[in-house]
Structure 1
Amino acid sequence: MRAVSYSQFGGPEVLRVTEVPVPEPGPTQVRVRVAASAVHPVDLMVRSGRFPAPLPTSLPYTPGWDVAGTVDAVGPSVQEFTVGEEVIGFTPWLQTTAGAHAEYVLLDAAWLTAAPAGVPATEAATLPVNGLAAAQALDLLALPADATVLVTGAAGQVGGFVLALARAAGLHATGLAADDDREFVESLGAAFLPRSDDPTGTFDAVVDLAVIGPALLELICDGGGYVAASPPLRPEPVQGIQTYALEVTPDGTRLGELVKLVTSGDIPLRVAGVYSLADAAAAHDRLARGGVRGGVVIIP
């Protein structure tokens, strides 16, 4: 099969399309024929050699976390899926290094759910990692209905999902974003706060996706919560404020709940660009240039 691969760290130019063996599913695994897969900042970080922790395997690597596609084969213990079903999910790449920027990828059955009906694969592929990150951020906070939450980086992929899920949960969200993103933030039922201003107000919780940092703790009510974008960024708790760090994990059941919100229209899916395997370097370059409002997607 064809797969994007790199055998040395560097810029987007190190990416190549290579021929690799088609993987065979283990007892609890599903082989998915990939229709689309999103690119994430962590893909760029690993490719450039800047990822700060050791990985379980050595080069070469095939990147890619999310997948939207069709079940091609299942392991003998898999009962949930059959060949031909359309599915979405993601592989925890930092643990598996089994990338989805390829024609086929293996995932554990528990990481998958049925794809949203009638939604193009290029759109569905933007949901798994970022949608689950948003859901798990709000799960950490466990806010009651009518609570207030400030979301920084609100127009980004994860931020947009947080706003949508906050609205569905009956929360009052405020989105911090660029002036050009006001319409998008308000379309999700959130109040808009311009990024150019110092954040103000008082909130029950903050989801800090723009990495503004501990200064935001001053805006949180005693007993509130703060979610950092990653574990190294989590500040120490202060004044009864609980602090958490986002570490997205695959969860087919939770992803299935998000699919229902997609099909009901409660969660919008955004695509910024679609690239072929051969144009993976261009996809990486587009994401690296920033200002992306939607997923950068690779298709075989």
Structure 2
Amino acid sequence: MDLPEPTPGEGELRIRVQAAAVNPTDTILRAGQRDTSGQSRPLVPGMDVAGVLEEIGPGTESDLRVGDAVMAIVVPRGTHGAYAEQVVLPAESVTAAPRGSGPAEASTLPMNGLTARLALDTLGLAPGSVLAVTGAAGALGGYAVQLAAAEGLTVVADAAEKDRDLVSGLGADVVLARGEEFADRVRERFPDGVDGVVDGAMMHGAIAPAVREGGTVVTIRGYDEPGDRGVRFQPILVAHYARERRKLDTLRQQAEDGAVSLRVAEALPAEQAAEAHRRLEAGGVRGRLVLTF
């Protein structure tokens, strides 16, 4: 569909999109599982972009220059989303793409990287603490493992047998079989329980037995049911970090340093967005499918 070319205002930047990562939140929006009442149509999904900075809005302060390779997080609403040839964003949502990465690689970092950063900041664990990560082979889980390992946490992660080497390579100290019995396996290795959990696999209450008394499970998609033994379920929303440019730029630096890896499952032309959604919903994708423009 053709939409009007967006024009940046004060405090905004216009990006010519070269790549947009495909995430589960996109498929949820497309499937009509979000309340979008009052939003303009068509609904444009997508939360991650990488491309070229084309225009700086009037009065906007930025260390970026027109022509720079950039990446950004997008908070989609109505016709404003990442699956577009051009997007206008707050300057605080945009930073340089990691050196040595192409647009497809760079587009996999902003949303999932910032979600993992928010999860760890929410837990606030000291070095030496024990963190469990579920869904560790996925994008969010993988970044959580890598960021936690870089901060001196002991990481116990879940994985299918075929993903054990991948998750171990991301920096997990202990890799255990995924599934409903993961919490029991964690307790066998850590009898007192772990200090916190990043629940990328959305195990919810099933992961609670792995946590020490009074510990915290960070959840996605809003799960916040009360737990036993003082275990707290704390939902997070990455939109709260959408203008945390310093944190996004730190992720860029960590990607350049090799502390976090940019995993592309496959790049597909934007015209194949439907196929990308079908493949993501079928499961088993490791890394991110990326749409190219």
What is the TM-score normalised by the length of structure 1? 0.89
Instruction: Give the counterpart of 2:43 among 35, 38, 61.
Output: 61
CA contact (8 A) 1:31 1:73 kept: yes
CA contact (8 A) 1:98 1:105 kept: yes
- The answer for the alignment partner of 1:253 in structure 2 is 246
Give, in angstroms, the shift of residue 54 of structure 1: 3.3
Q: How does 1:224-235 map to 2 (within 5 A)?
A: 224-231=215-222, 233-235=223-225
Cα distance in 2 for partners of 1:43, 1:287 equals 10
Give, in angstroms, the shift of residue 62 of structure 1: 2.1
- The answer for the alignment partner of 1:141 in structure 2 is 123
- The answer for the alignment partner of 2:25 in structure 1 is 42
Q: Mark the runs of 5 or more structure 1 residues left unpaired by the alignment.
A: 1-17
Counterpart secondary structure, 1:297 = strand
Q: In the comparison of the two structures, how many residue pairs are matched?
A: 280
CA contact (8 A) 2:273 2:291 kept: yes
Instruction: Give the counterpart of 2:9 among 17, 26, 31.
Output: 26
CA contact (8 A) 2:134 2:157 kept: yes
CA contact (8 A) 2:128 2:153 kept: yes
Q: 1:37 to 1:132 in 2, by over 3 A?
A: same
CA contact (8 A) 1:23 1:104 kept: yes
Cα distance in 2 for partners of 1:86, 1:244 equals 35
CA contact (8 A) 1:33 1:104 kept: yes
Instruction: Give the counterpart of 1:110 among 62, 77, 92.
Output: 92
Counterpart secondary structure, 1:100 = coil
- The answer for the alignment partner of 1:5 in structure 2 is none
- The answer for the alignment partner of 2:268 in structure 1 is 275
Cα distance in 2 for partners of 1:264, 1:60 equals 40
Cα distance in 1 for partners of 2:37, 2:61 equals 31
Give, in angstroms, the shift of residue 237 of structure 1: 4.7
Q: Deviations over 1:153-189 (max 9, x none)?
A: 1101100000000100100011112111100111122
- The answer for the alignment partner of 1:264 in structure 2 is 257
Q: Does 1:125 align with 2:107?
A: yes
Q: Mark the runs of 5 or more structure 2 residues left unpaired by the alignment.
A: 188-192
Provide the identity percentage: 38
Q: 1:272 to 1:55 in 2, by over 3 A?
A: farther
What is the TM-score normalised by the length of structure 2? 0.91
Give, in angstroms, the shift of residue 102 of structure 1: 1.6
CA RMSD of aligned residues (A): 1.5
Counterpart secondary structure, 1:19 = coil
Q: How does 1:183-198 map to 2 (within 5 A)?
A: 183-190=165-172, 191-196=174-179, 198=181
- One-letter code aligned to 1:91: V
- The answer for the alignment partner of 1:8 in structure 2 is none
